[in-house]
Copies of this chain bind each other. A is one copy, B any other.
Amino acid sequence: MPQFADRVAKAQRSFIREILKVTAQPSIISFAGGLPNPAAFPIPEIAAAASKVICEAGPSALQYSTTEGYLPLREWIAARYKKRMDMDVDPADILITTGSQQALDLVAKVMVNAGDTVVMERPGYLGAIQALSIFRPAWRSVSLDPDGPKLDELDRALDGAKLFYAVTSFQNPSGLSYSEEKRAAVADLLRKHGTFFLEDDPYGELRFTGQALPPVFKQRRENSMLLGTFSKVAAPGFRLGWIVAPHEIMERLVIAKQAADLHTSSIDQMIVHRFLADNDFDAHVAEIRAMYGKHCQAMQEAIAKHFLKNVAVTHPEGGMFLWVTLPEGISASELLKRAVDCKVAFVPGEAFYVDGTGKNTLRLNFSNANPETIAEGIKRLGECITDSLNGKAACKA
């Protein structure tokens, strides 16, 4: 019998996706997923956009199209960068991808030889760990302070490294963001070491408090790539993301994209572009921000009330997640079993660490439950944590 390729010999199904199957029962309050709230999907506007696109431009919406992506959509993205952060981006330097997950695959394919050093945050985004793992890098990781990575660790980690991957705003999983000072310092370190930089910014639009900051990419363009997505600000079902990259990198990414799926759905690109062109996008994003801000606040308040004081949590200013660190020696995976018995769920943090640590951490999603459900779920989880720390049996046992 022929053998599979070495790169998948040890690959495993997404840990989170397997957990989600267990926690999908409606009786469970789940903070495990990473779903945008469907109440924020602009359904009538998408219906109108779809109808317009198919009726007015059916033959081109349904035909093969260019690998680079639908030009008006790339122009919209470029204009948005200019408006939001006064950043000049040539639409020719934007490649539309099939979700930003595909961007991770393409970058890994184009950059990473087996054994190349890739630097991640600790904790780091699981989807990136999975996409990169296929190409078998040697991992290094850098711990995160509330204002970004520890710079001395980053300096050491970048030495001889091929690629640094970071989610600089409202990170998945931690909810943390890089401060203005850390952004500048990271740009300096990248310039010093000449490392390829992959900055992922899926949540940048979702800041509900504090001041917007431009991506590190704005300060260090050479050898750098910036990822974006419509999954959190329009809808994820379309699988529409993008990469911004300088010409010499883009050339390779386009070749890899041609081989990977020729191009991203023409009709989805045109529908989302129509939606963006015909509606007040700022007002739409403001609604999502307000909703998620309220959810985050409800979660923080419930945590303050129900979690023991030796449980640490992050205080995100945007995004969809916050991060919990239990006292040393408490296993989040063990806690999950107890929590599922008590009808509440989360994602244990271990999978977000490339160095095998993080066993006492967990991720909570606040976008996809209403404040009342959040209050009840956090109350249950608080009880589970307290019982765990006191060595009590689970509530159902």
Which residues of A are interface residues toward B (Cβ below 8 A)? 1-2, 4-8, 11-14, 17, 34-36, 38, 41, 43, 46-47, 50-51, 54-55, 58-65, 67, 97-99, 101-102, 104-105, 109-113, 116, 127, 130-131, 133-135, 162-163, 194-196, 223, 231, 235-239, 252, 254-256, 258-268
Contact partners of A41 in chain B: CB under 8 A: 58-59, 62-63
Assembled-state Cα–Cα distance A8/B249 (Å): 11
Contact in complex: A259, B134 (CB < 8 Å) = yes
Other CB < 8 Å A-B pairs besides A1-B223, A38-B59, 14 of them?
Answer: A2-B196, A4-B110, A4-B111, A8-B255, A13-B258, A41-B63, A47-B54, A51-B51, A64-B237, A105-B261, A109-B134, A131-B259, A133-B259, A239-B261
> How many copies altogether?
2
Q: Is there contact, CB below 8 Å, between A127 and B262? A: yes
B-chain residues with CB within 8 Å of residue A60 when the two chains form the complex = 237
The 8 Å CB contact of A8, one of B102, B109, B195, B265, is: B109
Q: List B contacts of A67 (CB < 8 A).
A: 14, 17
Q: Given the complex of chains A and B, what is the CA–CA distance between A259 and B195 in angstroms?
A: 23
**Which chain B residue lies CB-closest to A235?**
B62
Q: Tell me whether A99 and B262 are in contact in the complex, defined as CB-CB below 8 angstroms, given that A2-B195, A255-B12 are known contacts.
A: yes
Question: Is B13 within 8 A of A255, CB to CB?
Answer: yes
Between A130, A163, A267, the greatest number of chain B beta carbons within 10 A of the residue's beta carbon is seen for A267
Specify which of A34, A236, A237 lies most central, judged by the most chain B CB atoms within 10 Å of its CB: A237
**Contact at A252–B43, with CB atoms within 8 Å?**
no
**B105 near A63: Cβ-Cβ < 8 Å:** no
Expressed in whole angstroms, the minimum distance between the Cβ of A28 and any Cβ of chain B is 18
Q: What residue of chain B has the Cβ atom nearest to residue A21's Cβ?
A: B66
Closest to A231 in B: B64
Residue pairs across A and B with Cβ atoms less than 8 A apart, 16 shown, are: A5-B110, A5-B135, A11-B255, A12-B255, A41-B62, A43-B59, A43-B62, A50-B50, A62-B238, A63-B235, A64-B231, A98-B98, A130-B259, A237-B267, A238-B266, A265-B268
Separation in Å of the A302 CB from the closest CB of chain B?
A: 25
Bound-state CA distance A252–B36 (Å) is 28
A2, A97, A135, most chain B CB atoms within 10 A: A2
Residues on B with beta carbons closer than 8 Å to the beta carbon of A46:
54, 58, 62
A134 contacts B13, C-beta separation under 8 Å: no
* CB-defined contacts of A236 to chain B, threshold 8 Å: 62-64, 266
Question: A36: nearest residue on chain B (CB-CB)?
Answer: B63
A220 to B259 alpha-carbon distance, docked (Å): 27
Given A110-B8, A237-B266, A261 contacting B99 (CB threshold 8 A): yes
- Say yes or no: B17 contacts A237, CB within 8 Å: no
Q: Tell me, in angstroms, the Cα distance from A34 to B104 when the chains sit together.
A: 29
CB–CB B58/A47 < 8 A: yes
Q: In the assembly, what is the distance between CA of A337 and CA of B7, in Å?
A: 43
In Å, the complex CA distance between A262 and B54 comes to 26
Q: Is the CB of B260 within 8 A of A101?
A: yes
Contact between B11 and A256 (Cβ–Cβ < 8 Å)?
A: yes
Task: Using CB atoms, name the residue of chain B closest to A55.
Answer: B47
Residues of B within 8 A of A265 (CB): 98, 237-239, 265, 268
A17: shortest Cβ distance to chain B, in Å?
7
- What's the Cα separation between A61 and B239 when bound, in Å? 11
Q: Nearest B residue to A111 by beta-carbon distance?
A: B5
How far apart are the CA atoms of A112 and B2 in the complex, in Å?
11
Q: Please, how many angstroms separate the alpha-carbon atoms of A4 and B14 in the complex?
A: 27
Does B264 lie within 8 Å of A239, measured CB to CB?
yes
CB distance from A43 to the nearest CB of B (A): 4
Tell me the nearest residue of chain B to A7, going by C-beta.
B109
A109, B5: Cβ atoms closer than 8 Å:
yes
Which residues of B are found within 8 Å of A130, using beta-carbon distances? 258-259
